[in-house]
Structure 1
Amino acid sequence: MTIALTGSNGFLGWHTRVLAHSLDRTTEPLPLGDKFDIGSATGLMERATTLVHIAGVNRGDDDAVREGNVRFAQQLAKALGEATSVPATVVYANSIQAGNQSPYGQGKQEAGRILRKAAEDAGATFVDVKLPNLFGEHGKPFYNSVVATFCQLASEGKPLEVKDDKELRLLHVQTAAEVLLGIHAPDDAHNLATVRKVSEVAELIGSMAHSYTDGTIPDIANTFERDLFNTYRSFLVGERLPIMLNRKEDARGAFFEVIRSAGGEGQASFSTTEPGVTRGQHYHRRKIERFTVLSGTAEIAMRKMFSNEVLTFPVTGENPVAIDMPTMWSHSITNVGSDKLYTMFWINEIFDPASPDTFPEEV
């Protein structure tokens, strides 16, 4: 199954690619705007089973925003019209703002009208998904959403200022991707969203950031809180990721605390690893997984999906740290010492064979 995907390098596009990868579906980018090529686009239409149109223009002067969204739809309509065969389904990542009086709303509405007609004329099923405010891992602060902005500020220890305390309908971007790829019905973009005031979001993120300063996992029993916490954690990737643990040692031996959780499920496990052996080589879309070396010497490695940059962290039992794997980063742990490695793992939910949320991917 091949998915033709516009906007594949954007926020929602990247998350849609991750979801498709976890489902063993292939995505191929379809460039629009100045990079649009009718020959390449037509060829992709003829071999794709689904077209997902995410690309949009939401910054610039009024004409650029309005006409930019219309132009993208016109380019896709041309490719659909010239292809000898077309995807069975055309999915449009629309907005709840479509049809309002803003240039963006007008552009999104007209783009939807153009794309619907082209899809139906070509014999494809058209799916119009009106998305609310999206939030999630690796959102761009001061651009994608106020959630990303608050997470960035909280990660830097800065105050979270609320200027317009309005209600927001918030949908995690992975859930939005699930709607686009047909795992949920189009109306679920509305039904699965959570309504919170801006001040409530700021309070939640501030509280989570405070709890997590010493490695305490906040109460994430609720799906929205879990997704919000995973979003916040994505702003800590790098030097701030390892959490120092207080190791105490006396004549009896050594002791240190590994995990504190304020609420929700949890499951702990333990492994031994022989020298030179690597464990892991997978990623999670929702789970929080903590690695803590109890004894021995290891290297933890991780890579953001579709990126080539690998982050590595040397860890030992003598100076223990907790490292929580960021969602949608493949990760592994390798015994780089000469002795057996003892590692404790904690994950925030009890393992469910029917929904393991563990997808093979080498770092």
Structure 2
Amino acid sequence: MIKIGITGQAGFVGTHLYNTLGLHPDEFERIDFQKSFFDNEKSLDIFVSQCDVIVHLAAMNRHNEPQVIYDTNVGLVQKLTQSLIKTKSKAHVLFSSSTQEERDNLYGKSKKEGREMMISWAKNAGGKFTGMIIPNVFGPFGHPNYNSVVATFCHKLAHGETPTIDVDGVVRLIYVGELVTAILKEIRSGESDEELSVPYTAEAKVSELLNLLQNYKTGYQDNGEIPAINTTFELNLFNTFRCYMDIATHYPVKYVQHTDPRGSFVEIIRLGVGGQVSFSTTVPGITRGNHYHTRKIERFAVIKGKALIQLRRIGTDEVLDFYLDGDEPSYVDMPIWYTHNIKNIGDEILYTNFWINEFYDPSDADTYFENV
């Protein structure tokens, strides 16, 4: 069992890493970190002394005063280094640096100097150190106007605002899930690498990113259509966009019913991708689901009966309740990293139509059970 602590545990990358470690309870033990530890030497020392691996993600990315960024980031490394020395730690420290190391700005300078301080500690103390040079990271739950241009565009489009492009340059990107996979690979290897360049997995002009996201806004958010998805990058971008929508007010989405003396006709879904369609019957009082996905796109459509669909983002306590009635057929889509269930709350059998964008594969199910 490897004991892992993450400085910046509550941040964008930290949250994804922390939650992913939780999927491997037989391999990893998570040592809890709180931001306040950096202001309390005793708390920081206790944290450091418990860890076999420390992933140092805590940092400031943006501020109106660049000097504040520099001072903050260098100061955090100094505090961590002092604690490592004081506790005589032999932990494997993985350090999150940036491709901006070589740029003429104080953020890049703070990252480079921080990495060099950690290299010095490892050499003097006999510790292990991996300095990861990371490209631009995007993914669900990043903060707009802070973490990435993707986060900013997604937030603005999903909330009815109009994004603007300052410089239409080419950006090199890595999805946060891919970065987490790279971090886990280094943890498992246990090897030091003072300057490890993490390769980007996609590149695009800023205008190309915006065009894709605008299509997701008009096609998916406004009209409920699942877009054509041609690459893993487009799947990751689409799943990222979905997480910026105001889920609590967007769902359930009612279908258009076409009725005549014969009965009614309802179009369930329009697809630019394939996948698997199924339906279920559920007797009164029974709940299905209580699981989440990290990459799959899924839609629940209630066509007969009364249902309660519940969603909760992993790592949070807020539960979203959606009431659906087959008399007015409607659907709810399941965002990634949201555990979800569906319960028959009526007196008759519940009929539900399910669509998911990939066939079920027991060896790679991407289905993790957790009660809502």
- TM-score of the aligned structures, taking structure 1 as reference length: 0.93
**Residue 314 to residue 115, structure 1, CA distance change in 2 (3 Å):** same
Q: Does 1:27 align with 2:36?
A: no
Q: Does 1:180 align with 2:183?
A: yes
Shift of 1:282: 1.1
2:101 to 84, 98, 101: 98
Q: Does 1:2 align with 2:6?
A: no
Q: Does 1:194 align with 2:202?
A: yes
Instruction: Give the 3-state SS of the residue equivalent to 1:91 in structure 2.
Output: strand
Instruction: Give the 3-state SS of the residue equivalent to 2:250 in structure 1.
Output: coil
Shift of 1:39: 2.5
**Which consecutive unaligned segments of at least 5 residues does structure 1 have?**
none
Distance 1:183 1:85 in 2: 19
2:162 to 159, 162, 178: 159
1:228 to 228, 237, 258: 237
Give the match for residue 113 of structure 1: 116
Moved more, 247-256 or 63-72: 247-256
Which letter does structure 2 place at the counterpart of 1:90? V
Q: Deviations over 1:289-341 (max 9, x none)?
A: 11111211010001111111111100111111121111111111111111111
Distance 1:94 1:183 in 2: 15
**Residue 121 to residue 252, structure 1, CA distance change in 2 (3 Å):** farther
Distance 2:358 2:272 in 1: 13
Q: Does 1:271 align with 2:280?
A: yes
Q: Deviations over 1:20-63 (max 9, x none)?
A: 12233443343457743332323223322211110102233232
1:206 to 202, 207, 214: 214
Give the match for residue 71 of structure 2: 67
**Is this contact kept in 1: 2:303–2:330, CA < 8 A?**
no
Give the match for residue 249 of structure 2: 239
Q: Does 1:14 align with 2:15?
A: yes
**Is this contact kept in 2: 1:38–1:79, CA < 8 A?**
yes
1:45 to 35, 43, 48: 48
Instruction: Give the 3-state SS of the residue equivalent to 1:344 in structure 2.
Output: strand
Moved more, 216-225 or 19-28: 19-28
Alpha-carbon RMSD: 2.2
**Residue 311 to residue 91, structure 1, CA distance change in 2 (3 Å):** same
Q: Does 1:262 align with 2:272?
A: yes
**Residue 133 to residue 272, structure 1, CA distance change in 2 (3 Å):** same
Which letter does structure 1 place at the counterpart of 2:86? E
Shift of 1:84: 4.6
Instruction: Give the 3-state SS of the residue equivalent to 1:298 in structure 2.
Output: strand
Moved more, 352-361 or 57-66: 57-66
**Is this contact kept in 2: 1:129–1:189, CA < 8 A?**
yes
1:347 to 356, 360, 364: 356
1:144 to 144, 147, 152: 147
Which letter does structure 2 place at the counterpart of 1:69? N
**Residue 31 to residue 98, structure 1, CA distance change in 2 (3 Å):** farther
**Is this contact kept in 1: 2:172–2:200, CA < 8 A?**
no
Which letter does structure 2 place at the counterpart of 1:3? I
Distance 1:80 1:50 in 2: 12
Q: Deviations over 1:232-255 (max 9, x none)?
A: 111212211333211223343332
Distance 1:123 1:188 in 2: 19
**Which consecutive unaligned segments of at least 5 residues does structure 2 have?**
none
Instruction: Give the 3-state SS of the residue equivalent to 2:228 in structure 1.
Output: coil
Distance 1:286 1:355 in 2: 11
**Residue 244 to residue 21, structure 1, CA distance change in 2 (3 Å):** same
- TM-score of the aligned structures, taking structure 2 as reference length: 0.90
Shift of 1:188: 9.2
Moved more, 315-324 or 29-38: 29-38
Shift of 1:169: 0.6
Distance 1:280 1:189 in 2: 40
Q: Deviations over 1:42-97 (max 9, x none)?
A: 3223322211110102233232211211111111112211225433x211111111
**Aligned residue pairs, count:** 361
Which letter does structure 2 place at the counterpart of 1:20? L
Shift of 1:123: 3.2
Aligned identity (percent) is: 36
Which letter does structure 2 place at the counterpart of 1:23? H
Shift of 1:259: 1.5
**Residue 282 to residue 188, structure 1, CA distance change in 2 (3 Å):** farther
Which letter does structure 2 place at the counterpart of 1:259? I
